[in-house]
A and B are shown apart, each in its own frame.
Chain A
Amino acid sequence: MAHTRAGSAVWYAVSTVKPTALPPFQSVFDDHAHAVLTFLTGAVGSSEAEDCFQETMLSALRAYPRLGDASNLRGWLFTIARRKAIDAHRARARRPTPVADPDPGSALDTHPSTEEGLWDGVRGLPSKQRKAVVLRFAGDRSYPEIAAAMSTTQDSARQSVHEGLKKLRRELR
């Protein structure tokens, strides 16, 4: 529970540790699949979330051996997920025009990006929602932990994450 009082420190800590060996992709999948799917369900809706999820994980797997730094795998996955969500929204806007497969090259990040992608959107959120979303998805904190870190109730923490995701989803439209 050492991190619960230092919400934003979680985020800075993960981006400053030295490069680490890449773990087997299976453990990356096990650790983050649920969060990625939850994010995508919020971003594109449940009917398109699975396709986006599959595209995200396949792009990630394709690029994985070239990823230089394993210190922020979650941030890297979320960057890819956000791009897949944007692709899905563009595809929906262009329908019924047939849509080409997204160019895998453009969707791949060989370095975890903290300057663009998903976190731009997150930075734009009101402070309470931003903190809650970052703790939930970058820090992988449980709702009781988020509530403790933000000196609030679990319900309120849950509400902030929910509102934050809703706002991100609207912004993507």
Chain B
Amino acid sequence: MNIDAALTDRFVERAGARGLVDVAVTSMDSPIGTLLLMATPKGLVRIAFEDENRDDVLGEVAEQLSPRILEAPRRLDPVRRELDRYFAGRLRDFEVPIDWSLTREFARKVLRRTSKIPYGSVASYKDVAVGVGTPGGARAVGNALGSNPIPVVVPCHRVVLTGGAIGGYGGGLPRKRWLLALEGR
């Protein structure tokens, strides 16, 4: 049974003012389905597509970062605004701060590198492998991209196979095709 929404809002507001919300959550509609957004005070930490189970995603973040997770839509307003503009074709570069806490070593290196691929261009797995100093590591790069906790904003969809074939995507190939088409590819 639910309680009065205003009561819940006041609780979330007070919790935020006292620094007790370690991870804020909300969801938003998008052309590629509902997105679950999560941010820490450091920045955007996780985006999940709707095919991922919401409870599983929240449970993993609770375990890896903090169980102080609350629905706090306002905290994610800047992220939502940028995503809306991106999906409308009016934003090329995301400016919201990123919290890389859910990534480790090699994957973090790969994803940071990937976030430098400009809007509308693509790089091959091999390019990224060379870029992080492991020229033979294209397959490991693929795995790291598959573990991307912040798809769309960290644009792993811009990594394709040498020769131009589309490669793989954690969120499913239709989404990757849609995002590349949005960016004019």
Interface residues of A (CB under 8 A from B): 21-27, 29-30, 33-34, 37, 50, 53-54, 57-58, 61-62, 64-65
Residue in chain A with minimal CB distance to B70: A26
Interchain CB contact (< 8 A) of A26 among B14, B20, B58: B58
Which residues 69-126 of B have a CB within 8 angstroms of A? 69-71
Q: B61 to nearest A CB, angstroms?
A: 7
> Count of A-B contacts with CB under 8 A?
66
Cβ contact within 8 Å between A23 and B70: no
Cβ contact within 8 Å between A22 and B67: yes
Q: Which 5 A-B pairs have the closest CB atoms?
A: A24-B69, A22-B67, A34-B1, A24-B58, A24-B62
Extra pairs beyond A23-B59, A24-B59 (19, CB < 8 Å): A21-B62, A23-B58, A24-B23, A24-B67, A24-B69, A25-B70, A26-B25, A26-B70, A29-B11, A34-B1, A37-B3, A37-B7, A58-B14, A58-B18, A58-B20, A61-B68, A61-B70, A62-B18, A64-B68
Cβ contact within 8 Å between A23 and B62: yes
18 of the cross-chain contacts (CB-CB < 8 Å) are A24-B23, A24-B69, A25-B67, A27-B58, A29-B8, A29-B70, A34-B2, A37-B7, A53-B11, A58-B18, A58-B20, A61-B15, A62-B20, A64-B67, A64-B68, A65-B22, A65-B67, A65-B68
Is residue B66 within 8 Å, beta carbon to beta carbon, of the partner chain? Answer: yes
Residue in chain B with minimal CB distance to A24: B69
Distance, CA A168 to CA B2, complexed state (A)? 24
Q: B10 to nearest A CB, angstroms?
A: 7
Kindly name the residue among A26, A27, A64 whose own CB sees the greatest number of chain B CB atoms within 10 A.
A26
Cβ contact within 8 Å between B62 and A22: yes
Residue in chain A with minimal CB distance to B72: A26
Cβ contact within 8 Å between B2 and A57: no
- The answer to whether A25 and B10 touch (CB under 8 A), given A33-B3, A34-B1, A58-B15, is no
Residue in chain A with minimal CB distance to B67: A22
Distance, CA A29 to CA B68, complexed state (A)? 11
Is residue B51 within 8 Å, beta carbon to beta carbon, of the partner chain? Answer: no
Which residues 1-37 of B have a CB within 8 angstroms of A? 1-3, 7-8, 10-11, 14-15, 18, 20, 22-23, 25
Interchain CB contact (< 8 A) of B10 among A22, A27, A33, A54: A54
Residues of B within 8 A of A58 (CB): 11, 14-15, 18, 20
Kindly name the residue among A24, A27, A53, A61 whose own CB sees the greatest number of chain B CB atoms within 10 A.
A24
Distance, CA A50 to CA B68, complexed state (A)? 21
Distance, CA A150 to CA B71, complexed state (A)? 38
Residue in chain B with minimal CB distance to A35: B1
Cβ contact within 8 Å between A26 and B69: yes
Residues of B within 8 A of A29 (CB): 8, 11, 70
Q: A38 to nearest B CB, angstroms?
A: 9
Residue-wise interface mask of B (158-176) relative to A, using a CB-CB cutoff of 8 A (1 in contact, 0 not): 0000000000000000000
Residue in chain B with minimal CB distance to A21: B63
Q: B126 to nearest A CB, angstroms?
A: 39
